Amino acid sequence: MAQSRRRRPASRPASGGRRPAPPRPAEPGPVLELDVERIAHGGVAVAHHEGRVVFVADAIPGERVAAQVVDAGRERFWRAETVEVLRASPDRREHVWPEASVDRAPEHRVGGAEFGHIAMPRQRALKGEVLHDALARMGGVEVEVVVEPVDPAVAPGVDVEAGTRWRTRVRLHVAADGTVGPYAARSHTVVPVTSLPLAVAELEAIAPLGRTLEGAVAVDLIAPSDGDPQAVVRSPDDRRTARTAAPTVVERVGNRRFTVDRDGFWQVHRGAAATLTAAVQDLVDPDRFDPAAENHDLYGGVGLLAAAVGDRFGPSVRVTTVEADARATEHAGANLADWIGARAVTARVDRYLDELAAAPDDAGRGLRGATVVLDPPRSGAGRAVVDRLAALHPAQVVYVACDPVALARDVGLFRAHGYELEAVRAFDLFPNTHHVEAVARLAAIV
């Protein structure tokens, strides 16, 4: 999705895909032998020790591992790091990123590739299990979901079987002594590396690995689909003045060009934008679609998914994209210029929906009969937006989600308003991480 806001750790220009946990204890905790049971939301495995839940990093369900406790400060659960695999899963493989391997001390394992030790089919199966479990527990629906790999035809250069060479945006951090590298998992410790296997090849070629960059704080690597790769060195006082135009890049999706701020949001997988465009087009029910209705793309960014709807149903489609970031809205207006009925609005989605609800019935701004594409941040739409949106009675909602739990919670909220989950597809847009993208259709049941 082509939003300019920063929203997902695995999708922003960063190599460490997980939020840092509390600092590691000064003294190592005990080493436990654990039988790993399942994968939890967030990419860690679940085990039990003397009745207590233990969340274990770098393990696979079915394995027996020795794991060192790194956080025992909670009564209900502990956190631990695998230090030795005692009985390996048949799905364990050599880690695709040597610096993230279980063979290294946990404090020196890079983040952002927490599933890199798992064979690709099992990775996708585990992600499907997490999505299924979330929808059952929080959404109240039982649905089996097959997580689909990205079609190589829309992702040139990506190794689908290895899950590598897909990241078009990477952030490297710079330590106080100038060392360049990603963060260690669940920390702010910079780890020097010799390779970036998840990055597209052209970014690895320009990455300043092995160099010292004193005075810098980060390096952003960007490989737009239209244009040369860039390495942007960040300093502590790196601030753009209001009078300085933000640099932009151009991204291509099929025959379409999208302008986006270089520092703005764009999906990091080389084939993600094309994959999500096709998925949204597939899941919009044409029998419920009215091109003359007040169709919307909420959290619309630079207009990627509004364009998907326009391309699916023709240039006369009415569609409004709503995005809080003014720069993204400015780009959306230009990117959607092909459609006579397209407009781009800068507004917070909740406030925008409040304005729609307050409009007179004859103002022509209702959503009855409309199709709404909903692409919220990682935290999901939430109760306030779902309640407001459902009260406006759109015919169908196509929900694009990067977090299974947030999606499941919102599915439950929609169902309470009479909207049922009719279809869901999931895509492996973040191989070798725990993240998964889902696209769902909810429709009002009459």
**Residue 52 DSSP SS3:** strand
Rounded to whole angstroms, how far apart are CA atoms 292 and 270? 33
The tokens describing 58, both together, are 């770098």
How many C-beta atoms surround the C-beta of residue 379 within 10 A? 12
Establish whether 281 is an annotated binding residue. Answer: no
Establish whether 375 is an annotated binding residue. Answer: yes
In this structure, are residues 192 and 35 in contact, taking their beta carbons and an 8 Å threshold? no
Q: Which of 98, 105, 107 is nearest to 190 (CA)?
A: 107
**Residue 176 DSSP SS3:** coil
Rounded to whole angstroms, how far apart are CA atoms 82 and 128? 23
Q: Which of 78, 33, 90, 85 is nearest to 59 (CA)?
A: 85
**Residue 256 DSSP SS3:** strand
In this structure, are residues 81 and 92 in contact, taking their beta carbons and an 8 Å threshold? no
Rounded to whole angstroms, how far apart are CA atoms 326 and 303? 13
Rounded to whole angstroms, how far apart are CA atoms 252 and 131? 30
Q: Which of 202, 199, 219 is nearest to 210 (CA)?
A: 219
Kind of pairing, strands 169-174 and 180-181? antiparallel
Establish whether 27 is an annotated binding residue. Answer: no
The tokens describing 358, both together, are 């307050």
Establish whether 299 is an annotated binding residue. Answer: yes
Phi, psi at residue 327, to the nearest 5°? -65, -45
DSSP state of 36: -
The tokens describing 275, both together, are 């994959």
In this structure, are residues 22 and 46 in contact, taking their beta carbons and an 8 Å threshold? no
Rounded to whole angstroms, how far apart are CA atoms 442 and 393? 12
Q: Which residues are catalytic, by number?
A: 402
Distance of CA 17 to the CA centre of its chain: 10
In this structure, are residues 114 and 10 in contact, taking their beta carbons and an 8 Å threshold? no
Distances (CA, A) of 166 to 96, 198, 225, 233, 368: 13, 6, 12, 22, 40
In this structure, are residues 299 and 377 in contact, taking their beta carbons and an 8 Å threshold? yes
Query: Can you say which residues are annotated as belonging to the binding site for S-adenosyl-L-methionine?
Result: 267, 299, 323, 375
